Structure 1
């Protein structure tokens, strides 16, 4: 009976919006969209699912950023990828949010990892605009589920191109300041930019959760880190933003490596922007 209801809902969604889940501005609606996205991948294949849910101009990191529709046009429709969100949040404007959680690739040898997806409301429905994931060993511990609903609703009545550009500039300036501080003080600089409950996803490691644990994690292996921001966007509610770019990491073992990254920022009551999610994936030259 439950499966029948799910299939009926998915059929209705397809009729109305090509499987894009209707949003009411809540995190619950975004989580539902993510779950139906994963269900479609299991039923019809990963290629079909992404083609149904991605927005025009969406980026997927495979591992370098590439237009999602271009990438999936040439991919097989495998059904061996499964995932589920354990963390999600939507902006107070209700038009922008993100999800993250664990994924499994069930092939000849199972692979595991963590993903991060950024979503936007397009014509009242959630569409995927950024997606990336980093592999790690089989999880040894379960991550607690945490879905954060908007505290209130706010969307400016006037939000023209100048206002949107100004919002992006704020985030770009924040990350420029972070990068300058990293150059001056090393990874200890993150102490001034991390939320207490921030998360880091780094290839080969399960999620590192909590400011103190993240600082200890960085200090244990990173000598230097520099960031080259490529793009940024800010929710119209003014409370969430993301950046993406390339991070160059010098390890304490005298090894240098480059990573593509996506960072999620959250504005604090004092109007500073703190990091709440950082995801790194190896960059190919």
Structure 2
């Protein structure tokens, strides 16, 4: 009779190592997404919505605004150039992040606050929930493909 215990033990160790490595990768990728969301939000505060949305959009990125789909990085920038007004800010923070097991797609959702000050100095706030889909680009950077 052949003893299979060493072989089974060997494959169990290999498989558990793969599982731990996959978990480590997913945790790392989630951390990357949390950081890219932070960088995106920070750029929106420091340089404005036009530059932030243009920078973090994938070439084929899409946004849905005012019941309209805006397709492509350049079109997104142009839409924000036409829509953004002085004294408007948008802040957000994800409350959930998930990443595909292959590490090439991720999505986030969380809360946002849109603030504006009208010509009389009255500040208005609108709160809601955002959802963003991220895709790892060929250069390794994460860019949104849906916002």
Aligned-residue Cα RMSD (Å) equals 2.0
Paired with 1:219 and 1:252, the residues of 2 have a C-alpha distance of 18
* Partner in structure 2 of residue 248 of structure 1: 113
* Partner in structure 2 of residue 191 of structure 1: 54
For structure 1, the 5+ residue unaligned runs are 1-156, 279-285
* Partner in structure 1 of residue 12 of structure 2: none
What is the TM-score of this pair, normalised by structure 1?
Answer: 0.39
For structure 2, the 5+ residue unaligned runs are 1-16
Paired with 2:115 and 2:64, the residues of 1 have a C-alpha distance of 18
Where relative contact order (Cα < 8 A, 6+ residues apart) is larger, the structure is: 2
* Partner in structure 2 of residue 158 of structure 1: 18
Paired with 2:71 and 2:116, the residues of 1 have a C-alpha distance of 21
Q: Which moved more, 1:244-253 or 1:168-177?
A: 244-253
* Partner in structure 1 of residue 96 of structure 2: 231
- CA-CA distance at 1:244 after TM superposition: 0.6
Is contact 1:227-1:248 (8 Å) kept? yes
Count of aligned pairs? 121
Question: Hey, which of these two has a bigger chunk of helix by percent?
Answer: 2
Paired with 1:159 and 1:170, the residues of 2 have a C-alpha distance of 20
Could you list the per-position Cα deviations for residues 236-265 of structure 1 after superposition, in whole angstroms to 9, with x for gaps in the alignment? 111111111112123475542122111001
Is contact 2:98-2:106 (8 Å) kept? yes
Could you list the per-position Cα deviations for residues 9-40 of structure 1 after superposition, in whole angstroms to 9, with x for gaps in the alignment? xxxxxxxxxxxxxxxxxxxxxxxxxxxxxxxx
- Report the structure number with the largest CA radius of gyration: 2
Is contact 1:200-1:214 (8 Å) kept? yes
What is the TM-score of this pair, normalised by structure 2?
Answer: 0.73
